[in-house]
């Protein structure tokens, strides 16, 4: 650990720890600091403190000779401690480098990590040293396994699959036991094969930035499973490595394996808050360098919490803009990822905690960046406040999780709404996106996500059952818009089980046949249950892990999902890249027509009938405006989608010959695998009887 006594000035940028010139150049932003020491930690736990000699633009920097990759380190910041102004410099607290490429260790003494004594706002700074009690940064060398060519899947062809790195393979029998629950487990051929056979194009990984457990979980003996509690925005989470210390290499290997299979990697990123929580939380990183520069504050020094997590990053701060964009570029260029889903993204458009501004410094910096502008950028368009609900309000380059899609589709199939809003959701949510230079594929359609019921639980429970979370069932939303089909939870009633399976197929097929980009939740296609838990964020066990022992019901659901995804992939008219405009087809008909059960077009007054439970959707395939990768227009057959959420059978008259001369059933939700219950073809004007609660898709050959 010894080094030459001469510490050179080095340069302030790029930030972080970078091997160069026979040593390592350290650079960290800490504008309020009066002095900053980089602390080199030996294998025996000993510490050597080296004061950084230069401060430029608020960045403290120095090149320390003799230091090599693998060196563990932290920072000690000397400066003002004045909670009334939000300033909390405390050299007793060893800090993680905000730009660390690797972190090692955990918080082993939470009380010691607190930067204050007795009271976070009134008490003096804590003198307790945290060496050996908090995570450390690790110097890393750039490079590693090649991540392969990026698939660059056009958004209109994308099928997103949200999964948890640990939970996806933790119980997978085809993955070697020592690789289960790791980056290499997801890279294993058995895991990749499932994704390929299912037909998904893009995996969206729940947070893989290094994270730690929140104080409330630590004190309750629980664990943060989901990972929305970031410590480092550059370091892969170390617990997902099969070999300790190899997380960077293993992450890159995972990306390479997925890219080789033509599958993109999108990261769920949490730039809206950090693991440090409110003023009463620990001082582990950002708070100790420059709390007002990283977090929203109110008068008197408290933090402004619009995330529900104790703190909110200050989107208007140059430090935060730089941190976020540097992090995103690192994961894109060095780690090979293809895009990002931004958790509670509305906070990124609320500098100072004020009104949402789609042109905020941070959002603009991301979309105007020459590297990041080529990525898939997906916003979760809300935060923990009413003012933060911004579905449809993000800028032109942003796709969005469409919460209105989820709510409408759930309500329709449980019989709680008519068809007016449903028509918008089926056709790409033009009411939200068409007037803003956006495309229908920027609506990320979903009916389930990690947060909430699984698909199976959505049709099996009316109420949440979160007792295992340790919060007396108070956590998690009560607005589930679910229907248990006649019995709460597990049952042996064959009629209830049959209805549940059909309802699940209705929801899944609606999702995959809607215009827009569908997102599935891992395990839904295999009939995964969480026992009615809609907030399993702290359950790192069989509740959350995907079960690969497939029952007959799971096999059937998987076959159904594969059938519908495959059909979507080969049917351009079902994933149109442009909004429907009523343009005339070569046959003179509009590109989209809505039908009543009697075979007549929907009249204006029909849309306001809240008791209407049937809707027919005819889509012209000759003018789908879909293109090949080279940009040539491709045509398709036309389609008729029939959706019936009523409790009784309904006779349906097929449209006349001007819409097609032959109607061939292709997807039928009344059968276990989706194969048509009545094969063959129907003639225009003929009458079908649709059973209760069913979906039928018919092809009209061009």
Q: Burial of 106 by CB count in 10 Å (0-12 exposed, 13-18 middle, 19+ buried)?
A: middle
Residue with tokens 């008219």: 573
Q: How far apart are CA 143 and CA 555, in angstroms?
A: 41
Q: List residues with catalytic annotation.
A: 343, 380
* First vs last C-alpha separation in the chain: 74
DSSP 269-299: E--S--TT-STTSB-SSHHHHHHHHHB-B-T
Residue with tokens 């998690």: 476
Measured from the Cβ of residue 677, the count of other Cβ atoms closer than 10 Å reads: 13
State the DSSP code for 313: B
Q: Using an 8 Å Cβ cutoff, are 602 and 595 in contact?
A: yes
Q: List, as own/partner pairs, every contact residues 679-682 make where C-beta atoms lie below 8 angstroms and the sequence separation is at least 24, other chains included.
A: 682/654
Residue with tokens 């320390």: 64
Distance of CA 17 to the CA centre of its chain: 29
State the DSSP code for 79: S
Residue 508, classed as helix, strand or coil, is: helix
Bridge-partner residues for 594, per DSSP?
A: 617
Residue 670, classed as helix, strand or coil, is: coil
Helices (H), 414-477: 420-426, 430-433, 455-458
Q: How far apart are CA 621 and CA 631, in angstroms?
A: 17
Q: Using an 8 Å Cβ cutoff, are 277 and 309 in contact?
A: yes
């Amino acid at each position: 650990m010894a080094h030459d006594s001469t510490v050179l000035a080095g340069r302030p940028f790029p930030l972080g720890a970078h091997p160069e010139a026979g040593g390592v150049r350290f650079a960290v932003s800490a504008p309020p600091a009066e002095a900053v020491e980089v602390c080199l930690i030996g294998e025996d736990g000993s510490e050597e403190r080296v004061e950084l000699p230069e401060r430029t633009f608020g960045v403290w920097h120095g090149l320390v000779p003799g230091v090599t990759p693998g060196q563990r380190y932290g920072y000690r910041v000397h400066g003002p401690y004045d909670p009334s102004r939000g300033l909390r410099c405390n050299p007793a607290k060893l800090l993680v480098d905000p730009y660390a490429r690797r972190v090692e260790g955990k918080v082993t003494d939470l009380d010691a990590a607190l930067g204050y004594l007795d009271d976070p706002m009134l008490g003096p700074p804590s003198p307790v040293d945290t060496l050996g009690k908090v995570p450390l940064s690790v110097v890393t060398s750039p490079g590693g396994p090649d991540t392969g060519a990026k698939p660059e899947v056009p958004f209109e062809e994308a099928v997103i699959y949200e999964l948890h790195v640990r939970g996806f393979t933790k119980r997978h029998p085809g993955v070697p036991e020592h690789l289960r629950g790791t980056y290499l487990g997801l890279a294993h051929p058995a895991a990749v094969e499932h994704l390929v056979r299912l037909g998904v194009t893009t995996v969206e990984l729940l947070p893989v930035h290094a994270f730690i457990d929140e104080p409330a979980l630590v004190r309750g003996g629980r664990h943060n499973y989901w990972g929305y509690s970031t410590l480092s925005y550059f370091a892969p989470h170390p617990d997902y490595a099969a070999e300790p210390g190899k997380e960077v290499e293993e992450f890159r290997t995972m990306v390479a394996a997925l890219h080789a299979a033509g599958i993109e990697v999108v990261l769920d990123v949490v730039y809206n808050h950090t693991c440090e929580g409110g003023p009463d939380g620990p001082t582990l990183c950002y708070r100790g360098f420059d709390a007002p520069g990283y977090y929203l504050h109110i008068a008197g020094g408290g933090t402004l919490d619009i995330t529900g997590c104790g703190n909110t990053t200050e989107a208007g701060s140059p430090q935060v803009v730089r941190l976020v964009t540097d992090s995103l570029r690192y994961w894109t260029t060095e780690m090979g990822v293809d895009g990002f889903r931004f958790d509670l993204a509305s906070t990124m458009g609320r500098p100072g905690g004020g009104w949402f501004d789609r042109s905020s410094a941070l959002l603009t910096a991301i979309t105007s960046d020459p590297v990041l502008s080529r990525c898939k950028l997906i916003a979760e368009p809300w935060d923990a406040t009413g003012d933060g609900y911004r579905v449809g309000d993000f800028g032109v380059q942003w796709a969005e999780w469409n919460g209105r899609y989820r709510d409408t589709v759930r309500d329709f199939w449980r019989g709680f709404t008519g068809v007016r809003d449903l028509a918008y959701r089926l056709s790409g949510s033009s009411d939200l996106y068409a007037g803003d230079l956006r495309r229908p594929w920027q609506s990320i359609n979903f009916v389930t996500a990690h947060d909430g019921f699984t698909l199976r639980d959505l049709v099996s429970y009316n109420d949440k059952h979160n007792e295992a979370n340790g919060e007396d069932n108070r956590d998690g939303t009560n607005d589930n818009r679910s229907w248990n089909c006649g019995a709460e939870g597990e049952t042996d009633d064959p009629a209830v089980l049959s209805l549940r399976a059909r309802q699940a197929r209705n929801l899944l097929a609606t999702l995959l046949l809607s215009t827009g980009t569908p997102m599935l939740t891992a395990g839904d296609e295999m009939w995964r249950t969480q026992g009615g838990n809609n907030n399993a964020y702290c359950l790192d066990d069989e509740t959350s892990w995907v079960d690969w022992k497939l029952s007959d019901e799971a096999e059937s659901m998987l076959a159904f999902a594969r059938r519908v995804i495959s059909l979507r992939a080969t049917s351009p008219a079902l994933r149109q890249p442009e909004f429907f405009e009523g343009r005339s087809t070569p046959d003179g008909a509009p590109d989209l027509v809505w039908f009543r059960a009697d075979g007549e077009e929907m009249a204006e007054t029909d849309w306001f009938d809240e008791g209407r439970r049937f809707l027919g959707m005819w889509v012209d395939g000759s003018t789908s405006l879909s293109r090949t990768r080279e940009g040539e227009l491709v045509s398709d057959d036309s389609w008729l989608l029939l959706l019936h959420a009523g409790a009784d059978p309904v006779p349906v008259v097929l449209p006349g010959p001007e819409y097609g001369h032959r109607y061939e059933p292709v997807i039928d939700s009344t059968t276990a695998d989706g194969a048509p219950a009545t094969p063959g073809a129907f003639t225009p004007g003929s009458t079908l009887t649709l059973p209760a609660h069913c979906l039928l898709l018919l092809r009209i050959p061009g």
